[in-house]
Amino acid sequence: MSLVKTYHKYVSVVLEISLNKALAYGVPDELISQIQKGMKVSVPVRGRLQTGYIIDIMEEPGFEKVLPITKVHEQVVIEKDLFELGLWMAKYYGAPLRNIFKVMLPSSVRKEAKHKEQLYVMRGQTREQLRELCIELRKKSPGQAQILDGMLNVKKGILLTELLELTNGTRSQVKSLVKKGALVMDIVRVDRSPLVNEDYFRTSPKELNHEQQHAHDKILTSLLQNRFQTHLIFGITGSGKTEIYLQAIDVALKRGQGSIMMVPEISLTTQMIERFRSRFEGSIAILHYRLSQGERFDEWKRVQSGEAKIVIGPRSAIFSPVQNLGLIIVDEEHEQTYKQTEESPYYNARDVAVMRGKFTDSTVILGSATPSLESYYNAEEGKYLLSSLNNRADTAQLPEVKIIDMKHEYEKAKGYTIFSDALLSGIKSRWEKGEQSLLFLNRRGFHTSMICQKCREPLHCHHCDVALTFHKGTHLLKCHLCGYELYPPKHCPQCGDESVLKFKGVGTEQVQKALHAIFPDIRTVRVDADTTKHKGSHQKLLREFSSGKADVLIGTQMIAKGLHFPQVTLVGVLNSDGALNIPDFRAAESVFQIITQVAGRSGRGVSKGEVILQSAMPENATIQLAATQNYLDFYREELAVREIFQYPPFTHIAKMTFSGTDCQKVLRIAEAFRHELIKNLPSNFEILPVVPSGYAKVKDRYRYQFIIKGNNIYYLTEKYHLISHNFSKSGIRFNLDIDTSSTYF
């Protein structure tokens, strides 16, 4: 046991290991000048060193005996504004601080990775001297002569690895030439930025129309005053929201301020990067999960040092350590991909962006053609400043939309058909004119299920409560939740019958094959989770289509928003209404948004666009309003329904989920937890009954949930923490999801 010692300063440390309380430590005098909140430190815990983050600096420890911190990691610090944001997130989302700090710092930064360094070779003598030496060495050291031949053909220098590859030489041969003074070798830092080898063309700012200019002026008012203000730009598809973003960032950049540009999908990052690089050149950093650890480390360090002043990326980009942050933009703010649903903290990056703007006195811009009901309601209530763009930029016009009743098409075809006659005719005419088409289907794979003709049961995943999807390319049935794979069996696993198992439903893979069967010479590109598994695949496929190497783009939600293809004059929506049957209060809003967004990909160039909307529910109000892009009428109708049933924006909704391998135990713990919440929460909270989750079993774990409605979220998370201690050793996993994106799944 160490001797009791008094320190001049003490710190409270949150550990990276699974310990939910902060621990107090003393600060040795020689480390006092180095410590600050948010800094990583090493501390002793039960005889072993652990790492954690300082969350408070104190004069007194609150304990009689404390151990000292042993090391300060000066290179790993959570910036002041991000530290404050982290404390707010812990309080609001009810998540442990260690989880929040883990999200804020890429693992390569937490592990204190290094910049990549390589050896660089340059000429140590003039070209003439090297030629003479080369002649001299040609017979007695042909390998060295070969290396000199290679060095004579480079401009300034070359990486050692590239030189050896170019000349088939060895390191020892290069070292011999360095000893002779013929070559010079030095260590250089290698830039791993994903933008290093990308081509781009410089562009100039476009002239804003009246509506764009009015929105831009309002943004500049708060930006130039360094005043926190959230702006909602409600602009129809193609109305020029991105140009407003670019010009606002340009103003921030000239004032020495940093900006964060958030996009909901990696597929959108590609086009956004091209547009931003053409305007801002080397000031941009890219941050998303598809980067390698080294790339993320280099980009993060460029941002932290102030070298990169503009960050582009999806959800996690909001935690970038941008210096002198002045502007935060959330494009397609309605998108549910901004919501973290896989693990704690279950944050919504859009809402976190607004709070970070508040902590940094930054201007926040939310942009969408189909704003979330919560955001538009906030604008109506005066919390956000609304700017409306009702016309497309330049000369582009909104596309004409036709709704096709698929029940009539099935009658004509005397059975199921993927394509209506109108859609096939439209694809053919565009193909013949050299224009492009886009087909949207929110289902990947070839068939959505395989069904027994006797018991009518689909083949389910052995580990999840979900039907398997058939993928023709691999000839496998796959689970899209856990990745389980199965070769199609010859008899039904449920009833054992050997009658024919039939495939049902349509996925993107089948759409592509069916289109080739009808038009053998048509060129297609498919973009879904199967074709974009590998790094850079989004970029490659979208560039292929953009450059005119394909006539039809087929894809899922990743092609439905934000993308700009001027040659696309036809959009076909193949299954627009399936999601309306999901028992979720956001179902109608999601369907309206996806139809409006995908329809907006048509007619963005000179030629007028057309949208063909295939539906088995053509009279449905949501389908009708989406077809006319009538957001305001949809908003009013949906808002009235939300008010009756007390759903957001009139209240907050939290979802508690429970999972475990013992179905009855999971249900029992969920019921007990709900009972404790009822006892501890006031009557103005409504707690709905425990029900199985939409996916009742995932990865061999049974799942139950219940919904909580109420307005005082901080009070709810406080009570949740108190109650959760009593259930922490139950063996059942449970989570609280504040402002949940789905009440069903």
Residue percentage of the chain with pLDDT more than 90: 53
pLDDT tens by residue, 23-76: 999 999 999 999 999 999 999 998 899 999 999 999 888 777 889 999 999 888
- Can you tell me the distance from the alpha carbon of 28 to that of 92, in angstroms, rounded to the nearest whole number? 34
Handedness of CA 35, 37, 43, 46 (dihedral sign): positive
Where are the CATH 3.40.50.300 domain residues in the chain?
Answer: 210-389, 400-444+507-641
- Can you tell me the distance from the alpha carbon of 240 to that of 632, in angstroms, rounded to the nearest whole number? 20
Q: Supply 419's token pair.
A: 């394509």
The candidate with the shortest Cα–Cα distance to 302, out of 323, 330, 278, is 323
pLDDT tens by residue, 194-229: 554 455 567 788 999 999 999 999 999 999 999 999
CA distances to 339, 598, 663, 691, 732 from 660, in Å: 24, 39, 7, 15, 5
* Amino acid residing at 439: L
Element (H, E) at 366: strand 363-368
CATH architecture assignment, domain 400-444+507-641:
3-Layer(aba) Sandwich (3.40)
Please answer whether residues 271 and 564 qualify as being in contact, where contact means their C-beta atoms are separated by less than 8 angstroms. yes
pLDDT tens by residue, 346-368: 999 999 999 999 999 999 999 99
- 243: pLDDT confidence band, cut at 50, 70 and 90? very high
pLDDT tens by residue, 383-424: 999 999 998 876 667 788 999 999 999 899 888 888 999 999
- What mean pLDDT is predicted for residues 108-132? 80
Please answer whether residues 635 and 646 qualify as being in contact, where contact means their C-beta atoms are separated by less than 8 angstroms. no
Where are the CATH 3.30.70.360 domain residues in the chain?
Answer: 652-738
How many CB atoms sit inside 10 A of residue 63's CB? 10
- Can you tell me the distance from the alpha carbon of 669 to that of 690, in angstroms, rounded to the nearest whole number? 10
> Quick one: pLDDT at residue 723?
95
The CATH label, of 3.40.50.1980, 3.60.21.10, 3.40.50.300, 3.40.220.10, for the domain at 210-389 is 3.40.50.300
CA distances to 262, 526, 615 from 446, in Å: 33, 12, 20
- Can you tell me the distance from the alpha carbon of 713 to that of 407, in angstroms, rounded to the nearest whole number? 46
> Quick one: pLDDT at residue 2?
46
Please answer whether residues 318 and 262 qualify as being in contact, where contact means their C-beta atoms are separated by less than 8 angstroms. yes
What are the residues whose beta carbons fall under 8 Å from the beta carbon of 51, sequence distance 6 or more? 15, 16, 40, 41, 42, 43, 73
Residue percentage of the chain with pLDDT more than 70: 92
Q: Supply 165's token pair.
A: 């590859």
> Quick one: pLDDT at residue 658?
97
Q: Supply 119's token pair.
A: 């050896």
Please answer whether residues 567 and 548 qualify as being in contact, where contact means their C-beta atoms are separated by less than 8 angstroms. yes
- Residue 319 is given by DSSP the state G
Q: Supply 202's token pair.
A: 């410089």
Please answer whether residues 39 and 33 qualify as being in contact, where contact means their C-beta atoms are separated by less than 8 angstroms. no
> Quick one: pLDDT at residue 162?
83
CATH number of 9-110: 3.40.1440.60
Q: Supply 170's token pair.
A: 């060895």
What are the residues whose beta carbons fall under 8 Å from the beta carbon of 167, sequence distance 6 or more? 146, 147, 149, 150
Going through 228-341 in order, the beta strands assigned E by DSSP cover: 229-235, 258-262, 284-286, 310-313, 325-331
pLDDT tens by residue, 124-147: 888 888 888 888 888 888 889 898
Asked if omega into 345 is within 30° of 0 (cis), the reply is: yes
* Residue 377, helix vs strand vs coil: helix
Q: Is 660 exposed, middle or buried (0-12, 13-18, 19+ CB in 10 A)?
A: buried
- What mean pLDDT is predicted for residues 339-345? 92
- What mean pLDDT is predicted for residues 671-700? 95
Please answer whether residues 55 and 37 qualify as being in contact, where contact means their C-beta atoms are separated by less than 8 angstroms. yes
Handedness of CA 582, 588, 589, 593 (dihedral sign): positive
CATH number 2.40.50.700 given to 652-738: no
Identify any residues that bridge with 672 across adjacent strands, giving them in sequence order: none
* Amino acid residing at 186: D
- Can you tell me the distance from the alpha carbon of 312 to that of 562, in angstroms, rounded to the nearest whole number? 14
- 291: pLDDT confidence band, cut at 50, 70 and 90? confident
Where are the CATH 3.40.1440.60 domain residues in the chain?
Answer: 9-110
Q: How many H helices and E strands in the chain?
A: 22, 31
Comparing 121 with 662, the larger pLDDT belongs to 662
- Can you tell me the distance from the alpha carbon of 382 to that of 46, in angstroms, rounded to the nearest whole number? 53
Candidate ranges 176-190, 249-263, 476-490, 500-514; pick with highest mean pLDDT: 249-263
- Can you tell me the distance from the alpha carbon of 5 to that of 26, in angstroms, rounded to the nearest whole number? 9
- 505: pLDDT confidence band, cut at 50, 70 and 90? low
pLDDT tens by residue, 518-547: 999 999 999 887 777 776 677 788 888 888
Handedness of CA 432, 435, 441, 445 (dihedral sign): positive
pLDDT tens by residue, 579-625: 787 889 999 999 999 889 888 888 777 788 899 999 988 999 999 99
